[in-house]
Amino acid sequence: MATAAPVRTDRYADDPRWALISPDPYPLLIGGSLRQAADGATFNAVSPRDDRAIARIALAGPTDVAAAVRGARDAADGDWGRTTGRQRAKLLEQIATVIETHADELAFLEAVDAGKPIASVHYSDISISLDALRFFAGRAQAIAGRAATMPDSSVIHHEYLEPLGVVAEILPWNGPLWTGVQRMAAILAAGNAAIMKPAQMASLSFMRLAQLLAELDMPPGTISVVAGPGPVVGEALVGDPGVDMISFTGGVEAGTRILELAASQVKRVSLELGGKNPNIVCDDANLDGAVFWSKLGAFGNTGQICVCGSRILVQRGVYDEFVERLSAEGAAMRVGDPLDDDTELGPVISSGHASKVWEYIGVGKGEGRLVTGGERYADAERSISTFIPPTVFADVSPECRIMREEIFGPVVALQPFDTLPEALQIANDTSYGLASGLFTSNLDRAAYLSRGLKAGQVYVNQWFSPGVLEAPSHGYKQSGFGGVGMEKYMQAKNVFTRIGEPS
């Protein structure tokens, strides 16, 4: 049994918000009740801002997973599975109210545990979570099948969209609260029972949410939350025949493992994986806009977003100016304590992940021209490895590792191009195809490039999609597959009814 050492938060006594963190291990939510792991095991939530343990969390094992699946199965096959869309919408509205009421606490936990700047957690993660709950509350009440005209006029067709049953959602660490809430909202709206597995590196906000959810009036097992390592908890969920679908967001390696395991049961899987997303800046682009959005695209959430624009292709006529301006903007970004309201970029998720990013920076120094960043901070507050400055490498050729491999940190690689076909060829020369972007003031160029780019999302003269709910997508190639939005959690059933002549 792994048991984490008790956590001392008294060292932060000067900030009253630390008192929000429970001294007791955050429990699992199984079968409608909060409980510690069957064997009493716990693990520490470690803050990337100082690499210290800040809370303990119950560490689920196979026994806990089996109990969670049984509880979810009962809910899906019982009362929750029989709810109407209106009833499900009501639950989603209640969850939204709970999150709104506890927004300050959840934002604090997300900031200290995942290293996300607290101001951005409020205006981004919390609001996306609320938007998702209310959006899917609406969708739950408007589920529609279709009716096709049959070749035999004596037969009437109609299609039902039904819940799958039990859906296990394996969450990433780069946006634990909003990704978790958004996916949970869609799973529930579709009428499924949800088993949520947050990533160990960033579980705290979701474990606190689990405590709040346990107080809501819903059939036991409607929502379960089990934290613990992917190879144990995640794989137990994949292997349990009581789980009808696995939905996963994370890296290619874990995604591949899940596919292999799920294959033996022909279990439904959806994968949202990574990207090495190209950003094409043409010589006729509005450079102010291109620099602004490219900075956000490359460095947003410290580069830890699957749709970050981590390689930028710039047409030769504006290449030098763009490199200079993007580097200056990157260097001016405020990197610091996620609890500071002025911080724009926090630390990366963990010292382990930081090692990987620093290794890539070392590789980049041999592959391209370092223009800004690339060195550890000298001041005391940011001396630990998780604080990484926005780093720009110019003159990187397409075959270089930093141009091809997903770094998932604040590191961007640039190279010049001459013609649009050349830009497209380089942009599409990747095993990924999640997102892409382009900047031009010429409509013909925008159409040519956006049609040619092999990516699920194409941003034109901006970066990031404002409508992930309204216009969901997944990527090409190794960026994943398995459906989008609420429909991916549903099963279509076609009913064919023969009608006779009236007697």
Angstrom distance (rounded) from CA 76 to CA 165: 5
Angstrom distance (rounded) from CA 164 to CA 172: 22
Q: Are 496 and 327 in contact (CB under 8 A)?
A: no
Residue 376 token pair: 């550890």
Catalytic residue among 282, 306, 308, 400: 306
Q: Is 306 a catalytic residue?
A: yes
Angstrom distance (rounded) from CA 194 to CA 187: 6
Q: Are 110 and 127 in contact (CB under 8 A)?
A: no
Neighbours of 492 (CB within 10 A): 11
Rg (CA), the chain: 24
Neighbours of 270 (CB within 10 A): 21
Evaluated on CA atoms 301, 302, 304, 309, the torsion sign reads: positive
Angstrom distance (rounded) from CA 190 to CA 172: 22
Residues in a beta bridge with 155: 498
Please tell me whether residue 426 adopts helix, strand or coil conformation: helix
Q: Is the CB of 93 or the CB of 260 nearer to ligand NDP?
A: 260
CB of residue 208 to ligand NDP, shortest distance in Å: 17
Residues in a beta bridge with 411: 391
Please tell me whether residue 159 adopts helix, strand or coil conformation: strand
CB of residue 474 to ligand NDP, shortest distance in Å: 10
Angstrom distance (rounded) from CA 182 to CA 80: 19
Q: Is the CB of 114 or the CB of 282 nearer to ligand NDP?
A: 114
Q: Is the CB of 408 or the CB of 489 nearer to ligand NDP?
A: 408
- Selection from 185, 165, 24 nearest residue 98 by Cα: 185
> Which residues of the shown chain bind ligand NDP in the complex (CB under 6 A)?
170-174, 197, 199-201, 229-231, 234-235, 249-251, 254, 257-258, 272-274, 306, 406, 408
Q: Are 184 and 169 in contact (CB under 8 A)?
A: yes
Give the residue nearest to ligand NDP (CB).
Answer: 230
Q: How far is CA 126 from CA 100, 120, 132, 237, 335, in A?
A: 8, 9, 10, 28, 21
What φ, ψ does residue 114 adopt, rounded to 5°?
Answer: -105, -5
Q: Is the CB of 272 or the CB of 367 nearer to ligand NDP?
A: 272
Q: Is the CB of 58 or the CB of 218 nearer to ligand NDP?
A: 58
Q: Is 235 a catalytic residue?
A: no
What φ, ψ does residue 405 adopt, rounded to 5°?
Answer: -100, 145
CB of residue 415 to ligand NDP, shortest distance in Å: 21
CB of residue 430 to ligand NDP, shortest distance in Å: 13
Q: Is the CB of 220 or the CB of 437 nearer to ligand NDP?
A: 437
CB of residue 423 to ligand NDP, shortest distance in Å: 24
Q: Which residues of 57-92 are buried (b: 16+ CB within 10 A; e: fewer)?
A: bbbbbeebbbbbbbbbbbbbeeebbebebeebbbbb
Q: Is the CB of 220 or the CB of 274 nearer to ligand NDP?
A: 274
CB of residue 405 to ligand NDP, shortest distance in Å: 9
CB of residue 317 to ligand NDP, shortest distance in Å: 33
Catalytic residue among 169, 272, 329, 344: 272
Q: Is the CB of 297 or the CB of 416 nearer to ligand NDP?
A: 297
CB of residue 353 to ligand NDP, shortest distance in Å: 7
Angstrom distance (rounded) from CA 407 to CA 442: 32
Residues with a catalytic annotation lie at: 272, 306
